[in-house]
């Protein structure tokens, strides 16, 4: 098991599995409210960032590519949060 966790992609996969389990659980119990929505959005952001950096192998890529993709992720998450905030009014 220790050798498994030495690889960054394996660690990222493990985090992705745990994060998916958490969001599944929140959905199953019907978690509602701003705190749970923000928590799920933060988890989705972390998962997206892990996919970008570890599975798309951009952790060691030129800065332009990381900024471009992580910027896209920030824009999408911000727009979702904005849409949720507008729906509360």
Nearest to 34 by CA among 87, 76, 74, 79: 87
Task: Tell the residue number behind the tokens 């199953």, with chain if given.
Answer: 28
Q: Can you read off the two tokens belonging to residue 58?
A: 């951009």
User: Over the stretch 7-16, which tens digit does the pLDDT of each residue have?
Assistant: 888 889 999 9
In 3-state terms the chain splits into helix, strand, coil percentages (rounded to 5) of 80, 0, 20
Q: What is the pTM of this model?
A: 0.83
Alpha-carbon span 23 to 43, nearest angstrom = 8
Alpha-carbon span 57 to 34, nearest angstrom = 33
1 band by pLDDT with thresholds 50, 70 and 90: low
Q: What are the phi and psi torsion angles at 81 (to 5°)?
A: -65, -40
User: Over the stretch 42-55, which tens digit does the pLDDT of each residue have?
Assistant: 999 999 999 999 99
> Does the pLDDT at position 38 exceed 80?
yes
Residue ranges covered by each domain of the chain: 4-87
């Amino acid at each position: 098991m220790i050798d498994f966790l030495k690889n960054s992609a394996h660690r990222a996969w493990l985090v992705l599995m745990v994060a998916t389990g958490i969001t599944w659980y929140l959905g199953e119990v019907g978690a509602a409210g701003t705190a749970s929505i923000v928590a799920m959005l933060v988890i989705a952001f972390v998962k997206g960032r892990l996919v970008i950096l570890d599975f798309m192998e951009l952790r060691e890529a030129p800065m332009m590519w990381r900024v471009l993709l992580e910027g896209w992720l920030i824009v999408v998450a911000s727009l979702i949060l904005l849409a949720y905030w507008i729906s509360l009014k």
